[in-house]
């Protein structure tokens, strides 16, 4: 079964700290990876995607991908209380247009 795994948390960090969210995937055919943020009671929204090994930065967010280890992470620098949400990792194979989601990690940023 193709799976994407995340620690459910909650991950609690103080305001201004770096939050590190991790994700592993089992399907080596996965080619692209996505991080979605979901506020409580709302729908998921895309934050970042990454295709290549290494780091990809966008503002306070950095996505990291290591295909050999089947590992994806999201770093949030200078965490703000407004970053408190559930972060969903998703993997997509090029064979189809389907995303497989992890169970999400709940992040709490404390003022």
Partner 1 sequence: DTAVSQTPKYLVTQMGNDKSIKCEQNLGHDTMYWYKQDSKKFLKIMFSYNNKELIINETVPNRFSPKSPDKAHLNLHINSLELGDSAVYFCASNPANTGELFFGEGSRLTVL
Q: Which residues bind partner 1 (CB under 8 A)?
A: 8, 32, 34, 36, 38, 42-46, 49, 86, 88, 90, 92, 96-101, 103-104, 106
Which CB atom, from 88 or from 109, has the smaller least distance to partner 1?
A: 88
Least Å distance, CB 13 to partner 1, is: 19
| Secondary structure E strands in the chain | 4-5, 11-14, 19-25, 30-38, 45-50, 54-58, 61-66, 71-76, 85-93, 99-101, 105-110
Least Å distance, CB 14 to partner 1, is: 24
Asked if 46 contacts 34 with a C-beta cutoff of 8 angstroms, the reply is yes
Going by the DSSP 8-state scheme, the letter that residue 33 receives in this structure is E
Which CB atom, from 9 or from 17, has the smaller least distance to partner 1?
A: 9
Please give the distance of CA 80 from its chain centroid, rounded to a whole number.
17
Least Å distance, CB 49 to partner 1, is: 6
Cα dihedral 29, 31, 36, 42 sign: negative
Which CB atom, from 79 or from 104, has the smaller least distance to partner 1?
A: 104
Which CB atom, from 17 or from 27, has the smaller least distance to partner 1?
A: 27
Least Å distance, CB 16 to partner 1, is: 26
């Amino acid at each position: 079964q193709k799976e994407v795994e995340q620690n459910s948390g909650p991950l609690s960090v103080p305001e201004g700290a770096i939050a590190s969210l991790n994700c592993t995937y089992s399907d080596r055919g996965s080619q692209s990876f996505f991080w979605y943020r979901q506020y409580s009671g709302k729908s998921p929204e895309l934050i970042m995607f990454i295709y290549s090994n290494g780091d990809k930065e966008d503002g306070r967010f950095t996505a990291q991908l290591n295909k050999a280890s089947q590992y994806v992470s999201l770093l949030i620098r200078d965490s703000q209380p407004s970053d408190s949400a559930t972060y969903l990792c998703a993997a997509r194979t090029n064979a189809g247009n389907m995303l497989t989601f992890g169970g999400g990690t709940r992040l709490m940023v404390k003022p």
